[in-house]
Amino acid sequence: MVKIANIELGEFPLLLAPMEDVSDPPFRKVCKANGADLMYTEFISSEGLIRDAAKSVQKLDIFDYERPIGIQIFGSDIDSMREAAIVSAQAGPDLIDINYGCPVKNVACKGAGAALLRDVPKMVKMTEEIVKAVDLPVTVKTRLGWDENTKYIVETAERLQDIGIKALSIHGRTRVQMYKGEADWSLIAEVKNNPRMHIPIFGNGDIDTPQKALEYRNRYGVDGIMIGRASIGHPWIFNEVKHYMATGELLAPPTLEERVEVCRQHFTHSLEWKGEKLGIFEMRRHYTNYFRGLSHFKPLRMKLVQSEDINEIYDTLEEIAQNMSYVGV
């Protein structure tokens, strides 16, 4: 049984990675229904939280059916991060996660996210202050290093564990790599196999099939796997991985009707959480991912992304289910 402090996650948990503009409550709801064991909010700006910025505060919304759920925060100032952790804890999550892995410019170039990989002493100090400030388990998500010359993850993991984090998720790339090239899980395995380490180590990067998930579990010995981009438009990947690990057999791919139904649920949750206007607008980024592989999808996609009428969108989804030929991917 893998545990983060007293949170039981099963024998080999599958985690939904925190993703900006993706892992909001509507998306998390369909991922939870399809097998995700632990999920995180979108990453939340510490400065936004302590200044009570509406967009940041809204990201604190969590629901009991999501549990266990972690709130992930990022920032560059230690005092602000400590305050943001306290605010986040008041929202009632099961854990607080610190983002030391985001590589995008508007985060890393402001000294937050993966930028802390260039200043490990500050990373450790920041983490220590957050651990002291909240009564919840604190976890960390990070990368191997800033670049090829700074892959200090083995030592960094020890130092973070020593000041009290309860789990560590590692993306197998450096910040300079962004999402290019192949993720290197050998250093993740080195962290996991370090006899000094006793907290759960979760691997992240490039897991997009059940076969690869099983291969990486067996080869690298991690305690669980975090899945990000492969879940977008394909939230059933969690159940697919679990089924394959349990039986050695692949689940049949979702039928077109099943794809439409999950997309419909996602849209409905989006309307419920965001309201009509924003719910319609922000769902538009997901349609292509849900229906990748459909022949002649373009005209119906245009209807979905141009319509501002809820009933018309539902009708278009039904039209997809009834009338289109499907090519599996």
| Average pLDDT by stretches of 10, the chain with 329 residues | 97 96 95 97 94 89 96 97 97 97 83 92 98 98 94 97 98 91 95 98 97 97 97 97 97 93 97 95 94 86 94 94 60
Rounded to an integer, what distance in angstroms lies between the CA atom of residue 184 and that of residue 49? 34
Query: Is the CA virtual torsion 160, 162, 164, 170 positive or negative?
Result: positive
Residues 194 and 165 sit within 8 Å (Cβ to Cβ) = no
pLDDT at 105: 82
In residues, how long is the chain?
329
Rounded to an integer, what distance in angstroms lies between the CA atom of residue 147 and that of residue 175? 6
Rounded to an integer, what distance in angstroms lies between the CA atom of residue 321 and that of residue 315? 10
CATH of the domain spanning 3-247, picked from 3.40.50.1240, 3.40.50.2300, 3.20.20.70, 3.40.50.720: 3.20.20.70
β pairing state of 224-227 and 14-16: parallel
pLDDT at 322: 83
CATH number at 256-323:
1.10.1200
Domain boundaries, the chain: 3-247, 256-323
DSSP category for residue 42: P
Q: Count the Cβ atoms, other than its own, within 10 Å of residue 230.
A: 18
**With left for phi above 0 and alpha for psi between -120 and 50, is residue 5 left, alpha or beta?**
left
Residues 175 and 146 sit within 8 Å (Cβ to Cβ) = yes
Phi, psi of 149 (to 5 degrees): -90, 0
Rounded to an integer, what distance in angstroms lies between the CA atom of residue 289 and that of residue 259? 10
pLDDT at 36: 98
Phi, psi of 226 (to 5 degrees): -100, 130
Query: Is the CA virtual torsion 110, 134, 90, 59 positive or negative?
Result: positive
Place of tokens 């290197």: 184
pTM of the model: 0.94
pLDDT at 295: 79
Query: Is there a catalytic annotation at residue 102?
Result: yes
